[in-house]
Amino acid sequence: MTGNSYYYRKLHSLLGVIPVGFFLVEHLLTNYEAFRGGADGHQSFIDKVHWLNNLPLVLILEIVGIGLPILYHGVYGLFVAFQARNNVSNYGYFRNVMFMLQRVTGVITLIFIVWHVWSTRIQVALGHTTHDELGVLMHDIFTNPVTFTLYLIGVISSVFHFSNGMWSFLVSWGITVGPRAQRVSTYIWIGVFVAMSVMFVLTMTAFTDPQFSDTSVLDLNK
């Protein structure tokens, strides 16, 4: 690595955690309201959507805090993914597979995000749907077996990319140095991967409930 590329690489790594990784966790918790709210899941979810969209300077926050960091991390990540790297020979078979999967899931996640943001946030921005109708929009997506499956692939890829990326981040920033620390870290991030995947799938399934099929059940004055 020569010249500025070291810093571009470090920025790429850091942005993957703050704010992009942070956003993914926040996004999971917000959407999880659809499941956690039980019989009132639709109302709980829409309350969270309203709360988020009433934050001060929300559009600036979305562009500077989410959109641009994802764009940089994604585009620079593609550039890194297609560059040859030969320094993995001192790692075992498991780490080599993880290394390969990190690249594959990065590409899938990027494609998923473009499609997902287009069909949710951009549709609101274009005035084709409203914040109040986002539960119904998600209901339509998750009651269709084709889009449910595509979401499943996109969501699991994103969570894998985040969890395994966190493992690498801790190594490359000198936080998990020895083999023992790296082994413990592996178990922790496998746990995070499983927990987040389960929560996302419970959320997706919750949206198939008939309460999400129309907005008449909602108290929109809250």
Question: What distances in angstroms separate CA 75 from CA 99, 104, 107, 162, 169, one per listed residue?
Answer: 18, 14, 10, 16, 18
The count of chain residues that interact with ligand HEM, using the rule CB under 6 A, is 24
Q: Is 113 in the site for ligand HEM (CB under 6 A)?
A: yes
Mark residues 59-88: x for contact with ligand HEM by CB under 6 A, - for none: ---x---x---x------------------
Q: How far apart are CA 136 and CA 127, in angstroms?
A: 15
Using CB under 6 A, pick the residue from 13, 31, 43, 163 that binds ligand HEM: 31
Segment interacting with ligand HEM (CB under 6 A) among 86-94, 97-105, 117-125, 163-171: 117-125
Q: Is 156 in the site for ligand HEM (CB under 6 A)?
A: no
DSSP per residue, 126-139:
TTSS-GGGHHHHHH
Q: Give min distance, CB of 183 to ligand HEM, in A.
A: 28
Q: Is 110 in the site for ligand HEM (CB under 6 A)?
A: no
For residue 210, give both structure tokens: 């008939």
The H-assigned helical ranges of the chain are 5-15, 22-36, 41-53, 58-60, 68-81, 93-117, 123-125, 134-142, 145-172, 179-206
Q: Give min distance, CB of 4 to ligand HEM, in A.
A: 27
Q: How far apart are CA 199 and CA 107, in angstroms?
A: 23
Closer to ligand HEM by Cβ: residue 53 or 149:
53
The answer to whether 134 and 208 are in contact (CB under 8 A) is: no
Segment interacting with ligand HEM (CB under 6 A) among 71-79, 87-95, 112-120, 169-177: 112-120
Q: How far apart are CA 159 and CA 105, in angstroms?
A: 9
Closer to ligand HEM by Cβ: residue 46 or 176:
46
**Site for ligand HEM, rule CB under 6 A:** 24, 27, 31, 49, 52-53, 62, 66, 70, 109, 113, 116-117, 120-121, 124, 131, 134, 138, 155, 158, 200, 203-204
